[in-house]
Structures are given as structure tokens and as C-alpha cells.
Structure 1
Amino acid sequence: MTETTRRLALAGLLLGGFALTPLTAAAQDCPRGTLDARFCDRDGDLVADVPTEPRQLTDPRTLVFAYTPVEDPAVYRRVWAEFIDHLAKATGRQVQFFPVQSNAAQIEAMRAGRLHVAGFNTGAVPLAVNCAGFVPFAMMASRDNEFGYHMQVIVHRDSPIQRMEDLRGRLVAFSSPTSNSGYKYPSWLLREQFGLQEGRDYRTAFSGRHDNSVTGVANKDYDAAPIADSVMFRMFERNVVPRDALRSIYKSDPFPTTAYGVVHNLHPDLQAKIREAFFNFPWEGTALYAEFQRSQPPVSKFIPITYKEYWKVIRDVDTASGVSYTCR
């Protein structure tokens, strides 16, 4: 078992609560690809179909929304407040913000039927799709439809580390095992491109979140950390960390950013209202606009996406790393 596979297996164990409350039970055999056995994928779009039996649909009076736990949940309760009010008006339902503390907890909540609408971070999306029935349909973008973020490997400005090869013997902080930029891609990159094996050539720690990794490097708790630079840029703008405290020794090509969507078994009429609410949300003057204007590129709208197209690069990295989307 590779170290990456072991880490993902550990993440799967953390998601052991998946078996608590099944969302659907596939009574008949059907095409599903890598999806959990409870789901069907008859149209080949790689995400779970809406159940065909009415009794398998859910139509909750209160919708639960969660944003990916990459930063302080308390900050993002305020940031998302106006969007949640907008979503409530568009659907005619109460909407509750759920401040999740980990990717594992967020995926478990959706699989157990306690989470209906969510933004999952890039690396967690495949597990959410395959194990929890997540159906992503939107992503943030700029006015010119630019989107995405880069994985950067950061060090303290005073560090002697200048190149990726200099990480040998150092302490590298990853964020979480399911994070694309915080673990899966950089551990694969270090192994395949720079010949550095986790646990053999460098020591590791898991900070839990990208913002913890950024502050940890700034405070010299870690020698280096791979992070999503969109998180770092927002922290700079909020003066959480001085911009000149850090240096980057590696920058990747862009990746898709947080995917927004619903659990597959929400009533289709309710799903349609939720989608519409994302795409007609008036960003100008909101806390969401103010916060994500700090991103690079600065974003100001949601654009439609598909998991099959936009997450191909992430699935390819997972395949090359020996990751399988096994649900426990």
C-alpha cells in the first residue's frame, strides 16, 4: 500500500459514520462506475442519478448548508449570511449554516442525510461524489469567467530552503488527507518529480486546514507547507499573516476551486430552485463579494460546471497516486 493510499484509507475510516443512514438503496443492478453501490449513473455523467422512486426523495423543511472547512468556520458564517437569506427566499425553506470542522465530517453529514447543500474543496469532491451522492453544479469565477487556484509550496522568508529538493530532512505540513492541494497533489509531486518519499526523505504533519498551514509556516512551526494560494491571498488581505513573511518555492498549474452542489436525492423541484438561487445571487455589496474579491482571480459570480469535465485533472492525479474512492 502506498503512503497516499494509506492516507486515503485513513480518511475513509474517519468517514465510518457513512453507514448510519443510507440515502438510497439500489434495489436493482445499474451502471454506477466508481460510485457507491447505493447509487446509479445511467446517463454516464459520473454523479449519482436522482432516485426514480418517490419514497427515496427527500424534501426537507430546513435546508442545511456547509462551506468547506478550509478556514475559520466562524468567519464564514458571516460571509455566507446574505447568500443563505437569498437561498431561503428562493426555496421557501429555512436554511441553516453548518460550520463543519473537517472534510470527513462534511462528507459524513451529507451521506447520513444531514447536509443538503454544500461547497466541497477540490480534493474532497471525488469522495463526496462517490460516497455521499454529492452533485456539483457551480463554481466561483471572475467577471471574465476566470477561475481556479494554484498549489504553492511556501516557506518562511528567512528559510534557507530555496528549491523543492531542499525539503529533504525537513518538516512539511499538509492540511488533510483528502485535500488536493494540501496533500494529494503535492505528495505525488514530491515523490514522482523530485524523488522525495513521504516519511523517508521528509517528515510530515497534518495541520487540519490550509489557514493553519499558512500561519504555521509564518510562525516557523513548519519548515514548509503546500497550500491553496487562494486561501493565502485572502489571509493576506485580512492581515492575518504579513504578505512578506512567506516565500513560494513552487507554483502549480491552476486547479478548479470549491465545487457547490446538492445531495442527489433532494426533490428535483427543490434542486432546480437551489441551482437558480446560485446563478441569480446578487453579489454586489455583499459580504461574500467583499471576501472573495480578495481571491486571485477576484471572483464575483457562480458559473455552471460538471464533475465529469472540470474534475478530470483531479481524478487523473488520484489515479496516478493509486487512490480509489472506496466507501466504508
Structure 2
Amino acid sequence: MGKLFKVIPVLLIITLLIGCGSNLSTYKIDFSEYEKQPTDSKEDKQDKQDPIRLAISSVLSPTDTIIYYRKIANFIGKKLKRPAILIQRRSYNEISNLMINGGADIALLPTGAYITYRENGGFEGIATQERFGSPYYYGYIVASVESGFSTIDDLEGKDVAFYDPSSYSGYLFVEEELENLGEDIKSFFGRHVYTYSHERSLSAVLNNTVDAAAVNSLVFETMERENPKEVKILKIIGKSMPLGTGPVVIRSNLAKEEKEMIKASFLTMHEQDSMKIALQGLYIDRFIPFDSEYYEVLYEMDK
């Protein structure tokens, strides 16, 4: 028995070694992980910069234009020597709340969203987009030529597509127009839907899914250039007052130096050869200095 007890520990050791040996062939220690650990040096701390966050809710197709917006985000990040993150949101409320709550540092804010939320604070305008030679745009009510509609009055009881409940061109100006006629937008139409895309709203008219749609004039003009045959079967039966295109806004509590760098970057972007293709892809001629007067035409709607 004494010899047996002496043999057992030896067998256990051999067994453990064999078991460990079988695992060693599949398990590897990656010592490079230790090289990635942060150090306390001042140089490393300076290299670790928080990303600059640019938020968008594009009036144009986000699928087709996302690459151009990424170029803008990267351009700004490079100027600030910080990594850049592009944040995309579908609705105007989402992108506005990002700016109000500090979830983004910069936003290409839709006009309706700026007017609706500007009194909430948290952000300020630094630039405005100039498109097709103008800093202004319109809201259009569009129907098919064959419909026989000629004014908004003809749409009573009809089905209509809207962009977003906070969109000026895609909803608010229609609401205002009906209020002037003593009508309520919620009961005037037979049915209304939100598409969250001006292009989808136009497609809904072209496909006879709805009788009419409220859309951004910039999107309509873009379609005129790209698909003139489709636009020929559409007609504009209503038009809003002119107002400024979507402003570029920044978080109010950013450092003053960063604010100035961001503002200068947008205002000189059209002068950079590396950015011309991106701006052309977004149909932006250039960014011009922000002026609150571009948006005062809708002051009464800001409640």
C-alpha cells in the first residue's frame, strides 16, 4: 500500500501535465494587450482626445449622401486634431434633443427644428448653407398633373404625405396655411402619413399612394436636375414664404477657441479642393455666416 500511495501523486502530476499540454496548443497569451494599456505620461494624456460629434438629419437621401457627410465630419475633426464621429438621426426631434442634451457637438440642423427648439438653449448658429445660389428655400405642396388639383382647397378629404411634424417645408407651413383658412390640419385631410424623407414623399405621389405631398423645394429642384421626366408629371399647387436653409449649430458650452475653429472651418470649406466633391454631392455651394434674420419669417410659429 505504501508504494501505491507514492505512485498516485506521480500519476496525478503526469495527468495534470498532459492536460495542460493539450490546452497549451490552443490557448495563447497575447502580450500585446499589455502594450495597449494606458500610461500616466503627459504625452499619452494629450494624445487621448474626446471625439468631435457631428449630427445630421439630411433633407436629401441619407443613403446616397452619407459618404459626403462623413467627409465633412472628418474635415472638422482634422482641423481640431480630434477624432470625428458622425451621428445620423431620422427625426427632427431626435437630432434637436441631441444638441439640447449635449449628445452632439455640431449639427446640420433642419430649419424647422432650429426654429422649434432655438429657445430651449444649448446650441447656437454659426453658419447657413447656400444651395443653388441662395440661402433660402421654400415648402412646396406637390400633386400629379393628372389630379386636376390647383390649390390646397382641392385637397380636402384627400390623402397627403408629410416629412416630419417639426419640418417647416414638410408640415408646418401647410398647418399655418390651413389655419389662415380657418381649417385644422388634423381634420382637413382624409389621411396623412409621415415619411421622414422628402424623396419618399415625392415617390408616394408618383406612385399614387397619396394625392399630394409637402416637400422641401431643394429636394424638388434636385429631382428636376436628376430625373426631369418624373418631375414633368408633377405640379406645385402651394408654396410657402421663403426662409433660410438649415443652419450649422454648435454646442454653446464648447470652448471659445474650438467654436472659432469650427466656424472658420465651415466658412472656408468651399475653398478646399479636398472638400469640393463632398459639397457638390450635397448640392451645397458653400457655407455662409449665420444670420438670425433668415429665420425670423417663422417667428410666430415658434411657440
TM value normalised by structure 2: 0.76
- The Cα offsets for residues 148-192 of structure 1, whole Å up to 9 and x where unpaired, read as 111111002221212221111111222111111111111110231
Paired position in structure 1 for 2:73: 84
SS of equivalent to 2:118: helix
| Bigger radius of gyration among the two | 2
CA deviation after TM superposition for structure 1 residue 90, in Å: 1.3
Paired position in structure 2 for 1:216: 204
Matches within 5 A, 1:4-23: none
The residue type equivalent to 2:298 in the other structure is I
Unaligned runs of 5+ in 2: 1-47
1:310 is aligned to 2:300: no
Paired position in structure 2 for 1:161: 149
The residue type equivalent to 1:224 in the other structure is A
- How large is the RMSD of aligned CA atoms in angstroms? 2.4
SS of equivalent to 1:113: coil
Matching residue within 108, 123, 137 for 1:119: 108
Unaligned runs of 5+ in 1: 1-58, 294-298
Q: Distance in 2 between matches of 1:99 and 1:113?
A: 15
Matching residue within 276, 280, 297 for 1:290: 280
SS of equivalent to 1:248: strand
Paired position in structure 2 for 1:301: 286
CA contact (8 A) 1:262 1:271 kept: yes
Q: Distance in 2 between matches of 1:218 and 1:143?
A: 24
Matches within 5 A, 1:1-328: 61-131=50-120, 133-141=122-130, 146-192=134-180, 194-203=181-190, 204-239=192-227, 242-281=230-269, 282=271, 286-293=276-283, 299-307=284-292, 309-316=293-300, 318=301, 324=303
The residue type equivalent to 1:311 in the other structure is Y
- The Cα offsets for residues 268-306 of structure 1, whole Å up to 9 and x where unpaired, read as 11111101100111365733332344xxxxx42111113
SS of equivalent to 2:243: coil
Q: Distance in 1 between matches of 2:277 and 2:290?
A: 24
SS of equivalent to 2:241: coil
Q: 1:104 to 1:241 in 2, by over 3 A?
A: farther
Structure 1 window deviating more from structure 2 (176-185 vs 233-242): it is 233-242
CA contact (8 A) 1:78 1:287 kept: no
CA deviation after TM superposition for structure 1 residue 97, in Å: 1.2
CA contact (8 A) 2:267 2:286 kept: yes
- The Cα offsets for residues 208-248 of structure 1, whole Å up to 9 and x where unpaired, read as 23222111111111111111110122234344982223111
Q: Distance in 1 between matches of 2:63 and 2:282?
A: 16
Paired position in structure 1 for 2:29: none
CA contact (8 A) 2:96 2:114 kept: no
SS of equivalent to 2:196: coil
TM value normalised by structure 1: 0.70
Q: 1:181 to 1:143 in 2, by over 3 A?
A: closer
Say how many residue pairs are matched. 253
Q: Identity of aligned pairs, percent?
A: 22
The residue type equivalent to 1:131 in the other structure is N
- Tell me which stretches of 4 or more aligned residues in structure 1 moved more than 6 Å: none
CA deviation after TM superposition for structure 1 residue 132, in Å: 5.2
Q: Distance in 1 between matches of 2:248 and 2:188?
A: 37
Q: 1:168 to 1:81 in 2, by over 3 A?
A: same
Q: 1:225 to 1:60 in 2, by over 3 A?
A: farther
